[in-house]
Structure 1
Amino acid sequence: MKKFLLLIPFLSAIALGQQKPGKEDAGNSDLPVESDSVAGFLTFANEDKISGSPEGIDEDGNLRWNAGFLHQPIPVKPSSLLEMRLEGGASLQDANDHQALLLLTNGDTLRGQLDALDDEHVTLQTWYGGPLKIRRTMASDLEIQRANQTVYSGPEDFDSWIIEGEKDAWSLNAGSLSSNKGAGIAREIKTPDRCRIQFDLAWRNSLRFRVLLLSDKGSTTQPDNCYDLVCQRRFVYLRKRWIDGASGGSKIVGQANIPELAEKESVRFEFYIDRKEGTIALYIDGRQAQVWSDENPKAGSFGNWLHFISEDFYKVKVSRIRASPWKGELPDTVQLEADPEEDELEGQKIRLQNGDTVIGNVGLIKDGVLAVETPFCKMNIPVDRMRTIDLTEGDYEEPIRKKGDVRGWLREGGRITFRLDAFSKDTLTGYSQTFGNVEFKLSAFSRLEFNIYNEEFEALRGGSNW
């Protein structure tokens, strides 16, 4: 007897409501309560949903799905699935001195502790998949963050963002927040009085864009209290809006002319903010573009919301968002041109947290310390003292796309693309050309996306063409 996919006509009536950002106080009420077991719901290409939990994969490659109203698990063809949402299960908080963020050539981002580095591989120690030995040619960037100095790193899950305007105006795709039309998107990030906020911004042709800092309300693009940076091609100005008791106002704090915003189509924004002193410094691609000073920083009741606001016909992408404490000292402008002496040196280029650069042959990592041999001396560098490790030397390659690949989104941020081979109640097993065969903890994932190379399915997920 030929097996078939069980279709349930009343799925829409019994399935959980679709999760969409839009209310500040809206939690994940549609998802199961945190428990020792992993559960969630499936979303089909026709937008039907069914709650339950995964039970495994059968011999025909169908996903076995169990639900409370079913007598036994049903087979679900992966070709009909858009995504699987997951909640529950135990998760482990890493108690290490650093976190390494490894960007892969296919856009994936892996998180863990840097365990080894050589000419062939980068090895991360992770709680969710054990040691991951990644092929060096498939890694494009490695950033080190001190564990106690990262307030936020993302974007990780779209549900943690609030959209002001039409709900399809923004989407999360390939690790970037992408605008589709004019609207705002916001997230609350609780930062200290002195903080550093940074992100990558990409656009096409001409830039028209706003970013709101320290806003007191995430559900509007016109909050009562905020600092509003308006970008119109190379010209930017910073406006302060505030309400202080019965009084309030709006004023231009300052402006700047930034050539990079007219000459490029992607830059990195960095804000250094001191709430008490009223200092807001803007760096573009490591260059100090402007330092503004609010003459009356105590006026107003500022909050912790960060907004990105796009305009119609001016699409943007925002990625690699970071928020961290800041000690109060502004960094020097980074050296944009290569140092001739550095070009003559051979080895791995390591940029340290204090801005210094070390070039040499890397050795083993032991007890969180990397051995480096330079032409001048041997040294041991604590991994948490590093900022970035240059992986641009040599050739790049992207993993071959395989039928059956899924895209897994990690709860702690980041994503992994792999072929899904097996499921259990607690783990899933997969393969990637990037890191080989790995068994992952199922509780590490908030979402699994299926049929990721199908353009029609990607459009349903809000995918963008650029």
Structure 2
Amino acid sequence: MAATAAFCQAGENKSTLHFRNGDWLRGTMAAYDQAGGVTWHHADASGPLRFNTSQLTGITLDGAAIGQLGAGNLCEVLLVNGDHFRGNFAGATDEHFLIDTWHAGRLQLGRNAVRKIAPLPRGLKTLFQGPENDDGWTHGKINNETIGESGNWRYHNGGFHAKAAASIARDLDLPDSAHLSFDLEWSGSMHLAFALYTDSLQPISLSTKENEPDFGGFYSVQINSYSVNLLPVKKQEPLTYLGQATVPDFRKKPKARLEFFASKAQRMVAVAIDGKVIRKWTDSRGFAGQGTGVRIVHQGRGAVRISNLRVEEWDGRFKGPPTHPLGAKDDLVKLVNNDRMQGRVDGIDGDKLNVTTAEGGFPVPLDRVKQIEPATSRAPANVGIEHRVRAHFSDGSRLTFVLNRWSADGVEAHSPGFGSATFKPGSITRLEFQPKNK
């Protein structure tokens, strides 16, 4: 069945099927099983529609609000295949690490499938996670003839999209030390500006800023297809860039995970891309930001999507990429003071990590642990191609698995990395289907 945009006007159809020929179809995901494929509801259809997943590249879903985890040893988990999620580190066995999640309960991760476990500091607040809609955001009109007619950011399926020049802003109560992270996707050229610590929710024309309504200072993080720049902006002071970081990989891919770090005390702003810090800037003239808001301006070139935005308090620590070689026989524990312990992680006892080394067993307070890099297989087991999907969750997590069944009761899946699991249907915002010939 061919699907066209003309068939996709019903307002209650909030999810979207994406076909390999470029067509798309709005509607509602009703069910899935391996024999029958996807069962789809559409307001204009008299009955359910069925599609074989070989016809599809993916499904964007109207994911529900993010669930809450109980108190525990919260950590970020990175798998060998690049998947990642957050959960409470609950323990370890000879074969598994035990992680409690909000979307699937307890996962038993094969030890050789885990690339990194990074404990997160206790007591740091998450100030924003979403978006779930554009409520609370301010749309601004851009008055600049050089970048074309002003448009709007549009919310759809857990993200903001823009093609024309557009501005959207919100007072996120940025703390003095903040960490912002988000997924960025683009097609064509990319020109974005993120105003950090702004007190103005309306866009500022930098070329005529002296004539703009009064505004407090802010930092403009300017991102294009090949570089990232940082510009302190104050109304009555000349514009002076603090420096550029070249990002040649941006031209080779259509998406990335970006992170901004800021510390007023250190007069510092930093940017990380896909987990690697590419540049740290220190402002010798003092921290320029005078507000607590964020403004995102698309310059009207190409198309962009921003999703999985998280704003948190920051403890000043940068996470590092794993360096323990694949195929290593021992676990590596890196401490915040840069010491290292090599041996075996035996489990968790309260807020202490039990580590056995050649010198004996040691209980290590988790707040001293920067990250755990377990022993891994040099060639970890891959998820089979048949019925394989990559699932994106409303909190920014990503997992790859074989999809067995989807119903209102749960999403049943299995993977060599975590065995069998049942996920909450409302936790998933996007599915990517893997073609059988790859």
The question of a shared fold, defined as TM-score above 0.5 by the shorter chain, is answered with yes
Letter of the structure 2 residue corresponding to residue 280 of structure 1: M
Q: Distance in 1 between matches of 2:398 and 2:218?
A: 32
Q: Distance in 2 between matches of 1:423 and 1:333?
A: 35
Displacement after TM superposition at 1:418 (Å): 1.7
Assess if the C-alpha contact under 8 Å between 2:8 and 2:26 holds in 1. no
Q: Distance in 2 between matches of 1:100 and 1:114?
A: 6
Assess if the C-alpha contact under 8 Å between 1:113 and 1:125 holds in 2. yes
Letter of the structure 2 residue corresponding to residue 43 of structure 1: L
Query: Does residue 107 of the first structure (1) align with residue 115 of the second (2)?
Result: no
Displacement after TM superposition at 1:184 (Å): 9.5
Assess if the C-alpha contact under 8 Å between 1:42 and 1:50 holds in 2. yes
Letter of the structure 1 residue corresponding to residue 434 of structure 2: I
Query: Does residue 361 of the first structure (1) align with residue 353 of the second (2)?
Result: no
Per-residue CA shift, 1:143-181, capped at 9, x if unaligned?
Answer: 222354263799x889889999899xxxxxxxxx9xxx9
The sequence identity of aligned pairs, in percent, is 20
| Residue of structure 2 in register with 1:452 after alignment | 434
Question: Residue 146 of structure 1 is aligned with which of 114, 118, 121?
Answer: 121
Displacement after TM superposition at 1:214 (Å): 2.8
SS where residue 252 of structure 1 aligns?
A: coil
Unaligned runs of 5+ in 1: 17-29, 32-39, 168-176, 202-207, 339-345, 457-466
| Residue of structure 2 in register with 1:127 after alignment | 102
Displacement after TM superposition at 1:364 (Å): 2.4
Assess if the C-alpha contact under 8 Å between 2:64 and 2:394 holds in 1. no
| Residue of structure 2 in register with 1:441 after alignment | 424
Task: Indicate how the Cα distance of structure 1 residues 77 and 125 shifts in structure 2: closer, same or farther if over 3 A, else same.
Answer: same
| Residue of structure 1 in register with 2:67 after alignment | 92
Letter of the structure 2 residue corresponding to residue 440 of structure 1: F
Query: Does residue 293 of the first structure (1) align with residue 269 of the second (2)?
Result: no
Question: Residue 54 of structure 1 is aligned with which of 30, 36, 42?
Answer: 30
Q: Distance in 1 between matches of 2:91 and 2:319?
A: 31
User: What are the residue-to-residue correspondences of 1:280-319 with 2, within 5 Å?
Assistant: 280=268, 282=270, 290-295=281-286, 297=288, 301=291, 303-305=293-295
Letter of the structure 2 residue corresponding to residue 433 of structure 1: P
SS where residue 251 of structure 1 aligns?
A: coil
Assess if the C-alpha contact under 8 Å between 1:96 and 1:147 holds in 2. no
| Residue of structure 1 in register with 2:353 after alignment | 370
SS where residue 26 of structure 2 aligns?
A: strand
| Residue of structure 1 in register with 2:51 after alignment | 76
| Residue of structure 2 in register with 1:12 after alignment | 7
| Residue of structure 1 in register with 2:15 after alignment | 41
Task: Indicate how the Cα distance of structure 1 residues 399 and 337 shifts in structure 2: closer, same or farther if over 3 A, else same.
Answer: closer
Query: Does residue 279 of the first structure (1) align with residue 262 of the second (2)?
Result: no
Task: Indicate how the Cα distance of structure 1 residues 86 and 192 shifts in structure 2: closer, same or farther if over 3 A, else same.
Answer: same
Letter of the structure 1 residue corresponding to residue 124 of structure 2: Q
Q: Distance in 2 between matches of 1:135 and 1:229?
A: 40
Q: Distance in 2 between matches of 1:366 and 1:77?
A: 47
SS where residue 87 of structure 1 aligns?
A: coil
Displacement after TM superposition at 1:118 (Å): 5.7
| Residue of structure 2 in register with 1:227 after alignment | 219
Query: Does residue 65 of the first structure (1) align with residue 40 of the second (2)?
Result: yes
Assess if the C-alpha contact under 8 Å between 1:184 and 1:221 holds in 2. no
Task: Indicate how the Cα distance of structure 1 residues 394 and 429 shifts in structure 2: closer, same or farther if over 3 A, else same.
Answer: closer
Task: Indicate how the Cα distance of structure 1 residues 220 and 442 shifts in structure 2: closer, same or farther if over 3 A, else same.
Answer: same
CA RMSD of aligned residues (A): 5.6
Assess if the C-alpha contact under 8 Å between 2:228 and 2:247 holds in 1. no
Letter of the structure 1 residue corresponding to residue 54 of structure 2: S
Per-residue CA shift, 1:263-299, capped at 9, x if unaligned?
Answer: xx9999774421xx6822558867995532334847x
| Residue of structure 1 in register with 2:238 after alignment | 250
User: What are the residue-to-residue correspondences of 1:169-188 with 2, within 5 Å?
Assistant: none
Task: Indicate how the Cα distance of structure 1 residues 254 and 133 shifts in structure 2: closer, same or farther if over 3 A, else same.
Answer: same
Assess if the C-alpha contact under 8 Å between 1:218 and 1:307 holds in 2. no
Per-residue CA shift, 1:20-42, capped at 9, x if unaligned?
Answer: xxxxxxxxxx77xxxxxxxx423
Task: Indicate how the Cα distance of structure 1 residues 220 and 354 shifts in structure 2: closer, same or farther if over 3 A, else same.
Answer: farther
Question: Residue 381 of structure 1 is aligned with which of 349, 364, 374?
Answer: 364
Displacement after TM superposition at 1:387 (Å): 2.6
Query: Does residue 416 of the first structure (1) align with residue 416 of the second (2)?
Result: no
Assess if the C-alpha contact under 8 Å between 1:364 and 1:371 holds in 2. yes
Q: Distance in 1 between matches of 2:301 and 2:5?
A: 40
Assess if the C-alpha contact under 8 Å between 2:332 and 2:375 holds in 1. no
Per-residue CA shift, 1:74-114, capped at 9, x if unaligned?
Answer: 32332333433333668631122443222223332132212
Per-residue CA shift, 1:197-224, capped at 9, x if unaligned?
Answer: 57999xxxxxx99765334568869576
Assess if the C-alpha contact under 8 Å between 1:153 and 1:413 holds in 2. no
Letter of the structure 2 residue corresponding to residue 52 of structure 1: T
Aligned length: 396
Per-residue CA shift, 1:298-342, capped at 9, x if unaligned?
Answer: 7x5562246799999xxx9x9998754246xx67999x999xxxx
Unaligned runs of 5+ in 2: 151-159, 185-190, 210-216
Assess if the C-alpha contact under 8 Å between 2:8 and 2:25 holds in 1. no
Displacement after TM superposition at 1:442 (Å): 0.8
User: What are the residue-to-residue correspondences of 1:183-194 with 2, within 5 Å?
Assistant: 190-194=173-177
